Every structure is written in structure tokens, then in C-alpha cells.
Amino acid sequence: MISIAILGFGNIGSGVADVLANNEEKISKIIGDEIRIKYVLDKRDLSDTPYADRAVTDIDVIVNDPDVTVVCEMMGGTQPAYDYSIALLKAGKSVVTSNKEVVARMGDLLLATAREHGVHYLYEASVGGGIPILHALDDSLKSCAISRIDGILNGTTNYILTRMHDCNASFESALSEARKLGYAEANPTADISGADACRKIMILAAVAWGKLVSAEDVPCEGITAITSEDSTFAVSCGGALKLIASAVKTASGIMMTVSPAVVLADNPLYSAKGVFNAVKVRAGDLGDVMFYGMGAGKLPTASAVVSDIIAAINRSDSNGYTFFLPNDESLLSPEETPDAFCLLVQADADILYERIPSLALLNSKDGVHSILCEDMSKKTIYEAFDGLAVLKCLRAIV
């Protein structure tokens, strides 16, 4: 009998209990033992749940119980989640979490503590909900020279942008629809500002390259300023507007950014619509791989937590799972890093080709051209187009 505890019995926390119950037989077979939820810690009254007899409010009860080997931290926010997790790791318990905030801010400290005490700190559910992307980065892709990660990592913004694309809706009406359907919270700031996607790409980059940067250093542009004209522009380019979080490794360092981008229709990320998430990884010899799935939701996210519980129990390798390595690569400016961009420019087409011979003309109407420039930095493009009427410039995912 393996005893676990759940900290925070909200949507995901109660989902973990459900997934453990739904798949009890399979899980027992995999780990060769049974899992018992011994404690549920929550400030709320749990007396009307099946866990009333296991409800506690004092973390020390769990910290001091040698029976408990794995604890699920589903509290959200950095405190007290961080302090609790550190205390549990120091007491020799593995911690699994869906809390992207604490991982993106203090993951390096939590992982160092876990290693020091020979236990696991696992956080698959913090990125991409049910998509097993961290397991893959840490397992099959671990030996690959990863050069780029692009992700649609926030379901709320992807739903809004999909509605704007499909129905020509305004940002405001798409947001209000997302709220009605429960896809957007009452206060959607973390989603629509890009902050949520930013935390997730920070975690992905840290797992891929060992560099945990500070959120303040990642240029992050949300979708609040997006208009239906932007969405129409993306269509004129042969693509769709999506909020893309990117991390690119070059010879000189790592570039990270979150911004709306035109995803061209031939890119598999184009197919991630509505609340779905997708992560595309350029993985050296392996080529491009993409992982697609439910980026949020009670049971998908809880399933990712449960896969981490199983890993915490079954994995004995001292290599651990998904930890950041010390790394001092410099962070590059997205303005100066070569990438692809879609622009809307009002000018004579001949002049455009004169300035940037390698550009691709995607669409033209009344002397206004939708064009694609690849392998150039935004700064270089603006310098080349100096004096021309550049009406729009968005990153392109080709």
C-alpha cells in the first residue's frame, strides 16, 4: 500500500482522486501495489466529500507521517505551495505538481532540494495539461539536439483566436463567449496577457536546455490588442493567428518570446484549434515532432498528475526526471534574432523585392501586399523597409 496526500482539493485536486479511482486496476498492475489517498489538505470544509475522514489543514501532519511517500501539490500560486513543497521534499517525499507558477519561478530550487534528498519533483501537468510533453523531452528526446520549441500553450487565448478566425468575431465578443463556456476565468488577465503561456515556455526551455530565465526577461505580448483586421490579415497570408510561445537556441544563446503569430496552414500547429494545445519541437536528427492534446481541463490535467505519481513511485534512477541543469547561456533579443515574419506593406511590389529579394509575396490587394520574410530579424526587416508604409508585422510560424 502506497500512501499519498493531495494538497488543494479544487478542480485538479479532486480530479486526481477521480482519475486514480477510474483507473485503479491498471495503476495497481503498473506499480505492483495499491495507492491510497491518506490525506487531503484544504482550507475548505470537505465534510460533504468522500474524503471527509482524511481532511487535514496542518501540513505538518503530512510532513511528519513516514507512511506518505508522494504528495500532489495542486494549490496554485507560489505560497504556501513553495514552502510546503520544500518541507515535504526535505522530509524525503516526492512531490508532483500542476502549479506552473511555482515551477516557473522556483523550479530550480525545488529540483535541487529534491535531488539533494533523493526524491522526485515532477511537474508534467504544469505545461500543456494532458499532453505528455515533459516526459517526452526528458525521455525519448533527451539525447536530441533541440534547437526550437513553438507552442500553443494557452487554451483560453486559442479558443478566442479560433472564434475570431472562424466567425470573424471581435476580441470582446469571443472573450465573452469563452467566459460563458467556462474557457475563460472571471479575471482572464494571466491568459490574455500571455503570462500563462510565458510560464509554460519557460518550463519547456528549462527542461530542454537547463536555462530557467526570469519571467521579466521574456518579451511577452498577449492578445488584448488583437483586432479582427489582424485575424483577417493572417488569413490573407494563408494562415491563422495564434498566440505562440517560442524558445529558440542559436549558437549565441537562447531567444524566448510570447506573441501573436501567423501560423501558416502547412504547419501542423495550424490544426490546434479551440481549447486544444500543441507543442512542436525541432529535435536535431529526429526532425520535427509535434504533441497535441487537451491543454487544460480537470481530468486531462489530473491524468498528467497521475502519470507523474506513477513515475515518482516506479522510477528509481538517480538521474531524476526533468530537472534543470545549471546553464549560463545568454538570452537573446527577439528583435535581433533571425526568424520568420509576415508583413502587410503598402508599396510598389517591385520596391519590396528590390529591398528584400528573398521575400515571398503571399497576397496583394489594391497595392497592399501580404508578404513573408524568412531568416531575418525584425530589426533588419524594418531597416530594409525604411520609409515604406509597414502596416502590420507579425511573427510567422512556417
Is 217 a binding residue for its own copies by CB under 8 A? The answer is no
Partner residues linked to 40 by β-bridges? 6, 55
Supply 118's cell numbers: 533523493
Is 314 a binding residue for its own copies by CB under 8 A? The answer is yes
- Encoded one letter per residue, x for contact with its own copies by CB under 8 A and - for no contact, window 244-283 reads ----------------------xxx-xxxx--x-x----x
CB proximity list for 366: less than 8 A, separation 6 or greater: none
Is 313 a binding residue for its own copies by CB under 8 A? The answer is no
Is 197 a binding residue for its own copies by CB under 8 A? The answer is no
Of 316 and 330, nearer to its own copies (C-beta) is 316
Interacting span for its own copies (CB under 8 A) from 69-77, 201-209, 316-324, 385-393: 316-324
Is 37 a binding residue for its own copies by CB under 8 A? The answer is no
Task: Give yes or no for a contact between 238 and 362, defined as CB atoms under 8 angstroms apart.
Answer: yes
Helix (H) or strand (E) holding 151: strand 146-152
Supply 218's cell numbers: 521574456
Is 167 a binding residue for its own copies by CB under 8 A? The answer is no
Interacting span for its own copies (CB under 8 A) from 83-91, 148-156, 236-244, 292-300: 292-300
Q: Which of 200, 242, 280, 378 is catalytic?
A: 200
Side chain identity at 264, as an amino acid letter? L
Q: Identify the residue among 310, 345, 394, 396 touching its own copies (CB under 8 A).
A: 310
Cα separation, 153 vs 277, in Å, equals 5
Closest CA to 359 of 368, 349, 367: 349
Is 372 a binding residue for its own copies by CB under 8 A? The answer is no
Closest CA to 246 of 190, 303, 200: 200
Side chain identity at 287, as an amino acid letter? G
Q: Identify the residue among 107, 151, 300, 334 touching its own copies (CB under 8 A).
A: 300
Scanning the structure block, which residue is given the C-alpha cell 510565458? 198
Let me know if 200 is a catalytic residue: yes
Task: Give yes or no for a contact between 71 and 88, defined as CB atoms under 8 angstroms apart.
Answer: yes
Query: How many chain residues touch its own copies (CB under 8 A)?
Result: 57
Q: Which of residues 17-36 bind its own copies (CB under 8 A)?
A: 18-19, 22-23, 26-27, 30, 32
> String of b and e for 193-216 (b: at least 16 CB within 10 Å)?
bbbbbbbbbbbbbbbbbebbbeee
Of 210 and 219, nearer to its own copies (C-beta) is 210
Of 22 and 380, nearer to its own copies (C-beta) is 22
Cα separation, 145 vs 256, in Å, equals 17
Q: Which of residues 340-359 bind its own copies (CB under 8 A)?
A: none
- Name the region of 8 (left: φ>0; alpha: ψ -120 to 50; beta: rest): left
Dmax of the chain from CA atoms?
Answer: 76
CB of 289 to its own copies, least distance (A): 4
Which 3 state secondary structure label does DSSP give 124?
Answer: helix
Is 374 a binding residue for its own copies by CB under 8 A? The answer is no
Supply 246's cell numbers: 517560442
Cα separation, 185 vs 305, in Å, equals 22
Is 327 a binding residue for its own copies by CB under 8 A? The answer is no
Is 303 a binding residue for its own copies by CB under 8 A? The answer is yes
Partner residues linked to 41 by β-bridges? 7, 56
Of 111 and 198, nearer to its own copies (C-beta) is 111
Interacting span for its own copies (CB under 8 A) from 79-87, 109-117, 312-320, 365-373: 312-320
CB of 29 to its own copies, least distance (A): 9
Q: Which of residues 91-150 bind its own copies (CB under 8 A)?
A: 124, 130-132, 135-136, 139-145
Is 181 a binding residue for its own copies by CB under 8 A? The answer is no
Side chain identity at 93, as an amino acid letter? K
Cα separation, 294 vs 274, in Å, equals 10
User: Which residues are annotated as catalytic?
Assistant: 200
- Residues of this chain that interact with its own copies (CB under 8 A) are 18-19, 22-23, 26-27, 30, 32, 124, 130-132, 135-136, 139-145, 266-268, 270-273, 276, 278, 283-294, 297, 299-300, 302-304, 306-307, 310-311, 314-317, 319
